[in-house]
Amino acid sequence: MDIQSAVNFLVGSVLFSLSLIVIGLAILALNNLFSRYWKSIKWQIFDPQNVHIVDHKIIEELKQSLDQQKEERKTNAKH
């Protein structure tokens, strides 16, 4: 492989990958424009809204507050 064919291969590879990126972005933009009629494509693979970080202190506080609310409901129901 001489320099000329290597340069042609490199330029062809770069142009091909750029054309794939442009086509993908065009499809994504059209899909999001017409998302009124069907579900749009998500922009992210990782969705931070669905990540749950467990903090045991917060869980204990929530359990205690739920227990207090249950006790208050029981006492209010008796009166």
Tens of pLDDT, residue by residue over 29-42, are 888 887 777 766 66
pLDDT of residue 9 exceeding 70:
yes
Q: What predicted TM-score, i.e. pTM, was given to this entire model?
A: 0.45
| Interacting residues of 13 by C-beta distance below 8 A, sequence separation 6+ | none
CA separation for the pair 65, 59 (Å, rounded): 10
CA separation for the pair 33, 29 (Å, rounded): 6
- The residue type found at 65 is S
Domain boundaries, the chain: 3-78
Cβ–Cβ < 8 Å for 35, 27:
no
